[in-house]
């Protein structure tokens, strides 16, 4: 049996609850700023994590766990290392242990979600589905306690009867876990149902390990002082806050709630500094705005289609530009030190036509993209469809693409955040070198107006939507990660 090399105290703590799409790095850091002692990441599924590779991101000074499709599944940094809890969704002890060993050197603790009632969690026997299988619970927790160097916890809901609930938590305690979080509602209950402080209190009085009370947002917790009232009402060791913290993370601040505008601006700064995907940033900000979504600022946020546009909506345009310049400079410095990783998608660049261009979606019609214009031109000229070859640079995981049209190669010298954006840039180079329309606002290209727009980017925070393939997509060569020597298809691209 391994001895936990790091001990995390769960007594008298303010804790940010695990929340899907909310508990990413910017929110966790913001909660720590405002006084949270411990922060949980969103529930991450074991099967997805086991596909990930651990990558040290020197540009952002983070550790990233990156899926085969290049989506960052979990990102963390040194500042939160001693206070972040990794919560997993699992229904298998061996998979759970494999995930724990993958992340244990970068987190403070390991938690198993046994309380989420949503179908995406329960359909695989995870989350609240585990509550009906105490044997499996015991096996998962015992395996983790014996096999990882970090303290192990779990988060549950109460059962249909108090007697059954107490029987289960006593069995859970015997596995050797460090603490247990209890959401004081049953599996079938939702936020509109009252939380059972009495059930949490009975559990706290029965167990010797710390009990973390959860479920008090809105009805019990609306400001900082309410957190202690909820703790006393449940006799718990600590309190875990979910929705109240999602609405305003400064709920953890002893001095009281900060103005929402200030909180959102601080959140946006973290999102930009740590390259959070704009759709996730936008989602979290919408949860904070709530009833103000129809305000002028809310409408600007709703219309934003990039991190830059979000910043501009909140008066942070200059901050975005300055931070982008700093990250680009850091990236250039690192590449100068490791020129072998600079990479180039074309092995022989002597015959490649190059320009320094990027695809800025704001400059183009919502229904038309440069790739569509190029494909349409090739059809009219009875040429073969464009062929895109894309590579990814290991150091910063940026993309660059070369498009071949009529045996001539075209490439942008600027690397981009996604494969789609890199391909659009390559198409722009080809179109501009031929003096052809590229779909910019104000250009006339009547033959394309009825064609479906191909979205240049997609939300990494959830399952990828199935997109209809454009005709030109059928001619793409496989995506190649530089330095890997392997080819892998990018699902959903």
Mean pLDDT per 10-residue segment, the chain (493 residues): 66 97 98 98 97 94 92 96 98 98 98 92 92 97 97 97 98 98 93 94 98 94 97 98 98 97 98 96 97 93 93 97 94 78 59 92 87 95 95 86 96 91 96 94 59 38 35 38 37 26
Q: What one-character DSSP code corresponds to residue 480?
A: E
For residue 118, what pLDDT is reported? 87
At 346 the pLDDT is 55
* SS3 state of residue 293: coil
d(CA 130, CA 201): 22
Looking at residue 466, its pLDDT comes to: 32
Order the strands of the 72-77 sheet from edge to edge.
53-57, 62-66, 72-77
pLDDT of residue 442: 78
Please give the pLDDT value at position 396: 79
Question: Which contiguous run of DSSP H or E holds residue 75?
Answer: strand 72-77
- 116 included as an active-site residue: yes
Q: What is the pTM of this model?
A: 0.79
Residue 483: CA atoms inside 13 Å, Cβ hemisphere, count? Answer: 12
pLDDT at position 218: 79
DSSP-based three-state secondary structure for 389? strand
Q: What tokens appear for 89 in the block? A: 């969704």
Please report the domains of the chain, with CATH numbers, ordered by start residue: 13-255 (3.20.20.70), 259-335 (no CATH), 352-434 (3.30.160.20)
46/175 Cα distance (integer angstroms): 21
Q: For residues 55 and 65, what is the distance between their CA atoms, to the nearest angstrom?
A: 6
Q: What is the pLDDT of residue 336?
A: 83
**Catalytic, out of 116, 197, 373, 378:** 116
What are 255's two structure tokens?
A: 């001095």
């Amino acid at each position: 049996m391994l001895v936990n090399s790091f001990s995390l105290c769960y007594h008298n703590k303010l804790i940010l609850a695990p929340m899907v799409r909310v508990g990413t790095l910017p929110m966790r850091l913001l909660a720590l700023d405002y006084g949270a002692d411990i922060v949980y990441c969103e529930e991450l599924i074991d099967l997805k994590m086991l596909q990930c590779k651990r990558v040290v991101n020197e540009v952002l000074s983070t550790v990233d766990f990156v899926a085969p499709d290049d989506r960052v599944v979990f990102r963390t940094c040194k500042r939160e290392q001693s206070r972040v809890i990794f919560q997993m969704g699992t229904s298998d002890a061996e998979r759970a242990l494999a995930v724990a060993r993958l992340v244990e050197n970068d987190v403070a603790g390991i938690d198993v979600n046994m309380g989420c009632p949503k179908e995406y969690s329960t359909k695989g026997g995870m989350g609240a589905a585990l509550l009906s299988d105490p044997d499996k619970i015991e096996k998962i927790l015992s395996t983790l306690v014996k096999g990882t160097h970090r303290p192990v916890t779990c988060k549950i809901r109460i059962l249909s009867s108090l007697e059954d609930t107490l029987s289960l938590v006593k069995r859970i305690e015997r596995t050797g876990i460090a603490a247990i979080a209890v959401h004081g509602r049953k599996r079938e209950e939702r936020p509109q149902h009252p939380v059972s402080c009495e059930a949490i209190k009975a559990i706290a009085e029965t167990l010797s390990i710390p009990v973390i009370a959860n479920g008090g947002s809105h009805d019990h917790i609306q400001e900082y002082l309410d957190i202690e009232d909820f703790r006393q009402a449940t006799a718990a060791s600590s309190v875990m806050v979910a929705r109240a913290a999602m609405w305003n993370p400064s709920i953890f601040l002893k001095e009281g709630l900060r103005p929402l505008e200030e909180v959102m601006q601080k959140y946006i700064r973290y999102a930009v500094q740590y390259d959070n995907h704009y759709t996730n940033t936008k989602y979290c900000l919408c949860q904070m705005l709530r009833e103000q979504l129809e305000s002028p600022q809310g409408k600007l946020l709703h219309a934003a289609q990039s991190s830059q546009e979000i910043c501009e909506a909140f008066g942070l345009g200059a901050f975005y530009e300055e931070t982008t310049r700093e990250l680009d400079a850091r990236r250039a410095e690192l590449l100068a030190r490791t020129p072998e990783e600079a990479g180039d998608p074309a092995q022989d660049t002597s015959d490649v036509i190059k320009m320094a261009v990027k695809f800025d979606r704001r400059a183009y019609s919502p229904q038309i993209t440069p790739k569509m214009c190029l494909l349409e031109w090739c059809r009219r000229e009875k040429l073969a469809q464009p062929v895109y070859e894309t590579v990814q640079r290991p150091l910063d995981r940026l993309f660059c693409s070369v498009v071949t049209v009529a045996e001539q190669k075209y490439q942008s010298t600027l690397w981009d955040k996604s494969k789609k954006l890199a391909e659009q840039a390559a198409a722009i180079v080809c179109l501009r070198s031929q003096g052809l329309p590229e779909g910019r606002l104000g250009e006339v290209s009547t033959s394309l107006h009825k064609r479906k727009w191909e979205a240049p980017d997609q939300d990494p925070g959830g399952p990828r939507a199935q997109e209809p393939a454009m005709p030109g997509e059928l001619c793409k060569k496989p995506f190649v990660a530089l330095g890997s020597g392997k080819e892998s298809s990018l699902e959903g691209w």
